[in-house]
Amino acid sequence: MKFIVSTSVLLKNLQAMSGVLTSSNTLPILDNFLFDLTDEKLRITASDLETTMTVVIPVSKAIDNGIIAVPARYLIDILKTFPDVPMSFNINNETFQIEISAGDGKYKLTGFNGDVFPQSPVVDNSISISLNSQTLANAFNKTLFATGNDDMRIVMTGVFCQMSDKDITFVATDAHKLVRYRRTDTNASEGGSFILPKKPLNLIKNILSALDVPVKIEYNSTNVLFEFENILMICRLIDGKYPNYEAVIPANNNKKLTINRQQIMTSIKRVSIFSNQLTRQIRFTISGQELMMSAEDAELANEAKERLSCNYAGEDIEIGFNSKFILEMINNIDSEEICIEMSAANRAALIFPVTKNEGEDILMLVMPVMLNQ
């Protein structure tokens, strides 16, 4: 089995896949990339049993088809040292010895029998939908930061995807904050819902952001498949029932604050420096057309206050937030101005962009914190 491939093409694709690899694989064979040569196409697979990613790249001077498992870290490390040059692979299908030639160097590496590499899952009896890569990237970027990390509540560690004939909705929450990202300019022929795990979404969101191509999505009760350009990724869905997120979104919020996004964001950053670093509590006191933000750390006698002009409708209110949570939300809104809707100091606040992108409906919810008197 022989072939020649560009070092830059190979490295770019392997680095995109390397996030699948983990240091705690239960099967040693998963520390390898599976190379499957068929004619003049090289199919490369990485897997951790939960997520499987495959890329197909062109090669030249391919002789004899075959499969072999190639040690991932060794291969990536050596590829990083080369400029864009042709790299020749000569693989013994019997002993799994790999001879690599590039430039004036020759290198030997021991591979493994590719037949013992786990087979990719098959997504059968599936429902299919096609979405633009930019749409998916935005959905993942706007929601992933709000997912939880508590393995005791595993369903909240992923992004909930809800399909309907009117729209597609992505939801993430950790019980302190919640994001609902809805696309009203696309829909599904069949209704359905599933929970996407965080790891594979982090893997592909940056790849998707750089593209503007259709992405085929197929899903059944256990797996979801994403296919675009030369990449195919299959991941196991999170099993469980997602919380009724609509029930926690408050209605009839009669206090509405509109303010410049950049202005409030930089002020929160400054004031929060002086807050207690465990609670990160920041106080909003809103009266008339004025927002007073304050924070303090009683143990260190630190204190900060900032006054901002705003557009406010409603009765005066004093409400506390975790500055880290509210900053994360404001940072993930694109609009020049934001609107914060509230009803009471002990009820969740909603954050919206004032200017909405076409086909995009974003709602962000943050729970208040109890204020120190």
209 contacts: CB under 8 Å, gap ≥ 6: 133, 134, 137, 141
Half-sphere exposure of residue 11: CA atoms within 13 angstroms, side-chain side: 16
Strand order in the sheet with 337-342: 192-196, 159-163, 168-173, 177-183, 360-366, 349-353, 337-342, 255-260, 311-313
Q: Does the CA dihedral 144-147-149-155 come out positive or negative?
A: negative
The DSSP letter of residue 222 is: S
Per-residue pLDDT, averaged over 336-347, amounts to 96
Per-residue pLDDT, averaged over 201-227, amounts to 94
Per-residue pLDDT, averaged over 114-119, amounts to 95
Indicate whether 373 pLDDT > 70: no
* DSSP-assigned states of every residue in 236-292: EPPPSPPP-GGGGS-----EEEEEEHHHHHHHHHHHHTTS-TTT-EEEEEEETTEEE
Q: Helices 133-143 and 198-209: crossing angle, nearest 10°?
A: 130
Residue 190: pLDDT band (50, 70, 90) is confident
- Of the ranges 16-30, 139-153, 218-232, 314-328, which one carries the lowest mean pLDDT score? 16-30
Specify the CATH architecture of the domain 249-366. Answer: Roll (3.10)
Task: Give me the CATH topology for the region 127-176+184-247.
Answer: DNA Polymerase III; Chain A, domain 2 (3.10.150)
Per-residue pLDDT, averaged over 3-32, amounts to 93
Indicate whether 372 pLDDT > 80: no
Q: Find where tokens 């992923």 sit.
A: 158
Task: Give me the CATH topology for the region 2-116.
Answer: DNA Polymerase III; Chain A, domain 2 (3.10.150)
250-261 tens-digit pLDDT = 998 999 999 999
Indicate whether 335 pLDDT > 70: yes
Take residue 277 and report the two structure tokens written for it.
């670093």
CA 96-99-105 angle, to 5 degrees, is 160
Confirm whether pTM is higher than 0.95: no
In the chain, where does the domain assigned CATH 3.10.150.10 lie? Answer: 2-116, 127-176+184-247, 249-366
The DSSP letter of residue 359 is: T
Short-list 263, 282, 285, CA closest to 330: 263
CA distances from 290 to 14, 57, 287, 310 (A): 53, 58, 6, 6
* Continuous H helices in the chain: 7-17, 72-80, 133-143, 198-209, 261-272, 323-331
Indicate whether 209 pLDDT > 70: yes
